[in-house]
Amino acid sequence: MRRRRVLVLVLAAASALAIVRRRRRGKGERVTLGFGDGSTITLEAGTPDAERLLAVARRAVAP
Amino acid sequence: MVASAPVEPSDALADLVEISSQIVTAAVFEPSGNVAAAIGGGGDSLARTARELLEAASTIRPGVPVTRIEASTRGGGVFVVREGERLIAATTTPEPTSGLVLYDLRTALAKSARAAEPEPEKPKRRRTSKAQGEGGDEAA
What's the pLDDT at B117? 62
What are B52-82's pLDDT values in tens digits?
999 999 999 999 999 999 999 999 999 999 9
What are B25-58's pLDDT values in tens digits?
999 999 999 999 999 988 999 999 999 999 999 9
Mutate to test the interface with A, among B52, B64, B73, B92 (most CBs of A within 10 A): B73
What's the rounded mean pLDDT across residues B20-27?
94
Total tally of structural domains belonging to chain A: 1
Name the nearest CA neighbour of B105 among B26, B29, B3. Answer: B26
How many angstroms separate the CA of residue A20 from the nearest CA in chain B? 16
**How does DSSP classify residue B59?**
T
What's the pLDDT at A11? 79
What is the pTM (predicted TM-score) of this model? 0.74
What's the pLDDT at A61? 93
What are A15-29's pLDDT values in tens digits?
787 766 666 555 689
Name the nearest CA neighbour of B37 among B118, B92, B116, B106. Answer: B116
Q: How confident is the model at residue A6 (pLDDT cuts 50, 70, 90)?
A: confident
Average pLDDT, chain B: 85
Predicted-assembly ipTM surpassing the 0.95 threshold: no
Candidate from B49, B52, B65 with C-beta closest to A35: B65
Give the amino acid at B47. Answer: A
How many angstroms separate the CA of residue B71 from the nearest CA in chain A? 4
What's the pLDDT at B28? 95
Domains of chain B as residue ranges with CATH: 9-122 (3.30.450.30)
The interface residues of chain B toward chain A in range 15-74, judged by CB-CB distance below 8 A, are: 45-46, 49, 52-53, 56-57, 60-61, 64-74
How many angstroms separate the CA of residue A42 from the nearest CA in chain B? 9
CA distance B132 to B32: 54
Is the Cβ pair B53, A53 closer than 8 Å? Answer: yes
**Residues of chain B contacting residue A62, judged by C-beta atoms under 8 Å apart:** 75
Whether B138 shows a pLDDT value over 50: the answer reads: no
CA distance B44 to B50: 10
List the domain range (segments joined by +) for residue A57.
Answer: 2-61
